């Protein structure tokens, strides 16, 4: 494999954002798990067709985002790599943070549009298959359509919600709310309050994870006038919101228990609290001038959401 093919593969893999795809699989499984817990028989082919449609929708959104992120580059022109100046190595009260010197990809931006078009086409095929299985009821179509609109509006002008300051909120709702709901509806055909009781705390944790991950690029985002939730809030208020979201997630989970969520489903969610405490400690340490460990912070943010969803899935599917 020559260097060009290696660069293309790496660029496509990075643009696909594998961690978000894996998260989509876990969160989709949550909806299937709720259906299993409530006694609905799982239609295997429909489940996997729905999962394929969700993953293809994520890929389409991610590749379209990459295409429009490179708006200043001609569609099929390759450019030599350019080094980006590295800012200071520590976050400061002025909002600086480290960003490793990374070269611009030499892959033509048009490639990302072509791949996005391909994934959208295959995704449309999965929708046709669901229609053939008589699974696209009005309520399923409503949530499927909403997920599609949010995923496209997140990446594509004129909306480009990724750069609106609300992109993180859109992703949290899309992944932690709509994906489980779609999976559940494909099996049951109707909504249930367990969906809200379980998915809402996860939405808060997901949003907190996105805030933590975006802290590393805060300096670059402010320099390039890129509007994210963190740049809109400022790093201090963003950190405060991050900590509040994590606390609220567990409070909401506790309130859900009082409101009727079975303890056997809520308890697994509380098992991730030590990870949550460690994540809050890291954020407070950075806010107080400590040296940031970006890889550890990113891993902790992803692990908090991942472990919480995984443990609840175990209770739902095996319980």
pLDDT at 75: 66
pLDDT at 87: 40
pTM of the model: 0.89
Using CB atoms within 10 A of its CB, is residue 203 exposed (0-12), middle (13-18) or buried (19+)? Answer: buried
For the chain, how many structural domains are there in total? 1
How far is the CA of 14 from the CAs of 64, 125, 143, 161, in angstroms? Answer: 13, 25, 28, 20
Q: CA nearest 69: which of 122, 107, 31, 117?
A: 107
Q: How many CA atoms lie within 13 A of 124 on its CB side?
A: 5
Q: Which residue range is the domain that position 140 belongs to?
A: 3-317
pLDDT at 5: 80
> Whole-angstrom Cα distance, residue 317 to residue 319?
6
Mean per-residue pLDDT pooled into runs of 10, the chain (319 residues): 79 94 97 97 97 98 94 62 43 43 64 97 97 95 97 95 94 98 96 96 98 94 91 95 98 96 96 98 95 96 97 93
For 199, the 3-state DSSP assignment is helix
């Amino acid at each position: 494999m020559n260097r060009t093919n290696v660069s293309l593969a790496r660029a496509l893999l990075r643009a696909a954002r594998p961690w978000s795809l894996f998260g989509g699989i876990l969160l989709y499984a949550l909806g299937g798990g709720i259906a299993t817990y409530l006694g609905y028989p799982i239609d295997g082919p429909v489940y996997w067709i729905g999962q394929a449609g969700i993953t293809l929708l994520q890929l389409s959104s991610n590749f379209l985002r990459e295409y429009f992120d490179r708006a200043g580059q001609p569609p099929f022109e390759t450019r030599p790599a350019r080094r980006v100046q590295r800012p200071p190595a520590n976050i400061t009260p002025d909002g600086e943070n480290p960003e490793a010197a990374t070269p611009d990809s030499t892959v033509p931006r048009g490639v990302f549009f072509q791949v996005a078009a391909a994934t959208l086409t295959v995704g449309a095929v999965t929708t046709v298959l669901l229609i053939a299985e008589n699974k696209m009821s009005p309520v399923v179509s409503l949530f499927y359509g909403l997920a599609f609109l949010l995923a496209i509006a997140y990446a594509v002008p004129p909306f480009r919600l990724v750069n609106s300051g609300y992109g993180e909120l859109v992703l949290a709702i899309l992944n932690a709310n709509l994906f489980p709901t779609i999976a559940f509806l494909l099996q049951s055909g109707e909504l249930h309050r367990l969906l809200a009781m379980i998915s809402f705390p996860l939405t808060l944790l997901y949003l907190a994870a996105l805030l933590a991950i975006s802290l590393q690029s805060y300096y670059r985002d402010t320099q390039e006038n890129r509007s994210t939730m963190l740049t809109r809030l400022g790093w201090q208020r963003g950190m405060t919101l991050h900590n509040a979201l994590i606390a609220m997630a567990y409070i909401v989970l506790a309130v859900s228990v009082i409101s009727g969520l079975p303890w056997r489903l809520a308890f697994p969610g509380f098992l991730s609290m030590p990870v949550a405490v460690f994540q809050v400690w890291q954020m407070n340490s950075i806010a107080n001038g400590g040296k940031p460990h970006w890889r550890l912070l990113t891993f902790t943010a992803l692990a908090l959401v991942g472990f919480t969803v995984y443990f609840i899935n175990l209770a739902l599917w095996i319980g």
